[in-house]
Structure 1
Amino acid sequence: MASALLCSSAIADTAYVASEKAKKLTYDNILIDTHIDVPYRLNKQWEDVTQATENGDFDYPRAKQGGLNAPFMSIYVPASLDNSAESTALADKLIDFVEAIVGRAPDKFAIAKSTTDVEQQFKQGLISLPMGMENGSPIQGSLENLKHFYERGIRYITLAHSQSNHISDSSYDIRRQWKGLSPFGKELVVEMNKIGILVDISHVSDDAFYQAVEISKVPLIASHSSLRAFTPGFERNMDDDMIKALGKNGGVIQINFGSTFVSKIARTWSDAFSKKRKEVEEKEGKDSKETEKFSKSYTEKNPLPYATLETVLDHIDHVVKLIGIDHVGIGSDYDGVGDTLPIGLKDVSTYPNLVQGLLDRGYSEQDIVKILSGNLLRVWRATEEYAAAH
């Protein structure tokens, strides 16, 4: 049944056909996606993404087809490495991978460390590779490490990931050891403002979010989050009050495409699967053959009910209705959410489908450009200007 599901999804995906107008609008403008997990994917299995690849959601040909010219490479460090030197070492290794991509194909890719870099590289026909750190664990409580990673190109830091760390509580962690940000976390937000690193509040607890909003002197970003209004009880997403606070702060929420982030039905499926898998893990072991066999059998018998492109558009609409067009963008989580991507948005070649959907819903070309990159560039530029003055 799994193979049949994938087949039917692929067929349904072809039902989305972007017009020439949508393609031109996509290709003629900077397109920033603030969260693509290529580096960690390559850490698990190296592939030359400067060429077409059989695996994953991203490679150069598909990025060109989709008009993607400024994907933030996620420097993702698992929470299991928190409080260890290995955390910092892995972050450096993943940055090395991004540099290796550019080294293999400097005619295709370039490291981007500023808004000016992105704009100039776009004019040159290059795909910019700015970087964001997903999980602040590699900072290890050291402002020298913060400076080190800034110099290496990190331009946003997701303060925590799936567990509370030395910076912040996590939305996924029932422990609330800091009741928001740690004392160092509060200091770190101030220093990130001063050095020019965007504060990313995806993954953090609600209390941590509000504390970051209060402390930060520049707008925040949610690099890959969606809306709790569509997934009640899923704290990883943002509720309407948080979105309003983000809008007042001048920030931007970059919508995550994963079906379990945007669809209540898919979220319910995921919760049920996770509960049953955990029971098997506790009995048989997390990496056991029995656990692997269970996962395969469960998904064959109970396939994931994929979201669609329309579901993602609903999230964008909701933000616009709440706080206006200036506060929403794209943070797909390609290469990070596995086989949960919605029909119509299965890989980086499909952004013109999103643009077509926005056109169909009456968005102006000017507003679509804001969603593609304008809003994120505004926030990034504000961060740069604040840092330059401090």
Structure 2
Amino acid sequence: MAVAVALVAVAASAVAAHAQRGAKAAPKQAPKPAVKAPPRDRAAARAHAVELLTASPLVDGHNDLPWTIRQQKGMERDVDAYDLRKKTPHQTDLARVRSGKLGGQFWSVYIPGDIKDSGFARVQLEQIDIARRMIAKYPETFVAANTAADMRAAFKQHKVGSMLGMEGGHAIENSLGALRAYYDLGVRYMTLTHNVTLDWADAANDAAKHGGLTNFGREVVREMNRLGMLVDLSHVSPAVMSHALDISEAPVMYSHSSARAIVDHPRNVPDSILTRLPKNGGVVMVNFYPVFDSPSLRAHGLARDRQQVALRQRLGADTAAVNRELRAWDAANVAPRATLADVANMIDHIRNVASADNVGIGSDYDGVDDELPIGLEDLSNYPDLFAELILRGWNDTDLKKLAGENILRALEKAEQVAKRLQRERGPSTKTIEELDGKPRIHP
């Protein structure tokens, strides 16, 4: 019996050995890559931010440098005199572009809304000319871009893809033909209004006249979709925001706005609008303008306004006395400073209410008259903002979306929509007189 058991065991062992020799060897599994721990201190977080922005483009939605060039005393509109190769008195020059890791820029070709007698179109064309000459002057740094693909190609060449954004529909002078001409000159977004309500759209900081967009205003949005020009809803009333989202077939953008739930300022975006952005694909590019980002600074400004009203009521037409007492109030009530953390709070809020796909950066550098937030004084501070978000737990995927992927995706979608719409219909020939019943002014 013992012999039989032994023979069975030997046979089983032989069969197993034969099977093992005949079977394919199991492939060796590659070792899992080590998971890089998130930085825990600010210096390491900033180094990681620089690394990330070197690999993925940071596209800023709004910089007013062309207007800065126009306004320089004694050298107005002189692109050559405002030398970006040297340190400038404002926030933007080539050294800070490089150190801040700027990867793409929408240059605002802003013109004021109160220069009608001078001719909106004339001044707008001058601003486009200034911006285009500025871009061409520094070919080692800037390259003109007309598409999202152009922006990506520029970044691969270590240059800043440069697009133009018009800040206010007043510049089209109620003409869809003018809108198309601006597109042909390189304008890739238009803010529907600036601070003045137009014949066809209500501004956030002016009295509403239309309850949003008029019929002509709606046609402006449709024609922008057909062109592939992004509809910018910074500066407009909430009703205009809502109407534009109802109409637009392409993602909208806010080139430089923040969240109204945190700072109740007319220029900021209500949560009721933020919740609609995921469906539309739009992007709110967070502004660095201090009063839009700091609750304490906003409260201080409102208190100062109330004090000024009270002084005028008490002192009447004695302007000197009003100003003297207001200066005394200012000395006793020093305005707080906005901070980088305030801006990060705005970004967090928009991500939480909309999504990580609906937030970007729209600094408003060179367009801020007040002191900028502590820690965001100029372009060189972009990595500091990303470092703060890294320390708050943001992952690289969402940081890349914030930096530029969101706005580039929105632009790509707008281009796709435009191709379809151009197959379906030609340029609109409708007029404000026809759509809104205005008296006909031009033949």
Q: Find out whether 1:265 has 2:299 as its counterpart.
A: no
Match of 2:266 in 1: 235
Deviation digits for residues 229-266 of structure 1, max 9, x if unmatched? 1113x221111111102222221111111220011111
For 1:67-82, what aligned pairs fall within 5 Å after superposition? 67-81=101-115
Deviation at 1:315, TM superposition (A): 1.1
Give, in whole Å, the separation in 2 of the partners of 1:185 and 1:199. Answer: 12
The answer to whether structure 1 residue 119 and structure 2 residue 159 are counterparts is no
Select which of 200, 217, 238 maps to 1:185.
217
C-alpha offsets along residues 327-364 of structure 1, whole Å, 9 cap, x if unaligned?
A: 10001111112233111111111000011111111111
Match of 1:9 in 2: none
Could you tell me how far apart the structure 2 residues matched to 1:146 and 1:290 are? 48
CA distance in 2, matches of 1:338, 1:297: 22
Which residue is 1:8 aligned to?
Answer: none
For residues 276-332 of structure 1, the C-alpha deviation after alignment (integer angstroms, 9 at most, x for no partner) is 67888x9689xxx99999998876664431111111111111111112211100011
| Structure 2 residue 231 is matched with structure 1 residue 199 | yes
Per the alignment, do residues 298 and 68 of structure 1 end up closer, same or farther by CA in structure 2, a change over 3 Å counting? farther
Change in Cα spacing, 1:134 to 1:19, as seen in structure 2 (3 Å) is same
Q: Give the structure 2 partner of residue 107 of structure 1.
A: 140
- CA deviation vs aligned residue, 1:3-55 (integer Å, no higher than 9, x gap): xxxxxxxxxxxx97553222111222211110111111111115525313331
SS of 1:155's partner is strand
What is aligned with 2:34?
none
Query: Which residue in the other structure is 1:23 paired with?
Result: 50
CA, structure 1 residues 366+290, in 2 after alignment: closer, same or farther (shift >3 Å)? farther
Q: Residue 16 and residue 309 in structure 1: after superposition, are their counterparts in 2 closer, same or farther (change >3 A)?
A: farther
- Maintained 8 Å contact 1:58/1:335: yes
One-letter code of the match for 2:205? Y
Select between 242-251 and 343-352 the one with higher mean Cα deviation.
242-251
Q: Measured at CA, do residues 127 and 231 of structure 1 come closer, stay the same or move farther in structure 2, by a change above 3 Å?
A: same
Residues 300/126 of structure 1: CA separation in 2 closer, same or farther (3 Å cut): farther
Shift of 1:130: 0.8
What's 2:200 paired with? 167
Contiguous gaps of at least 5 residues in structure 2: 1-40, 76-80, 422-443
> Residues 79-98 of structure 1, C-alpha deviation per residue, up to 9 Å, x if partnerless?
212x5562111111111111
Larger Rg: 2
Partner of 2:377: 346
Q: How does 1:1-390 map to 2 (within 5 A)?
A: 17=43, 19-45=46-72, 48-81=82-115, 83-84=116-117, 86-173=119-206, 175-232=207-264, 234-273=265-304, 302-390=333-421
SS in structure 1 at match of 2:61:
strand
Cα distance 1:164–1:276, how it changes in 2: closer, same or farther (>3 A)?
Answer: farther
> Residues 95, 300 of structure 1: CA spacing in aligned structure 2 closer, same or farther, 3 A cutoff?
farther
Structure 1 length normalisation: TM-score?
0.88
TM-align CA RMSD: 2.5
Aligned residues: 369
TM-score after normalising by structure 2? 0.78
Distance in 1 separating the partners of 2:410 and 2:107: 18
Q: Deviations over 1:133-186 (max 9, x none)?
A: 11111101111111111011111111011110123101111x221110122211
Measured at CA, do residues 207 and 55 of structure 1 come closer, stay the same or move farther in structure 2, by a change above 3 Å? same
When residues 211 and 297 of structure 1 are mapped into structure 2, their CA distance, relative to the original with a 3 A threshold, is: same
Code of the residue aligned with 1:195 in structure 2: it is L
Amino acid at match of 1:126: K
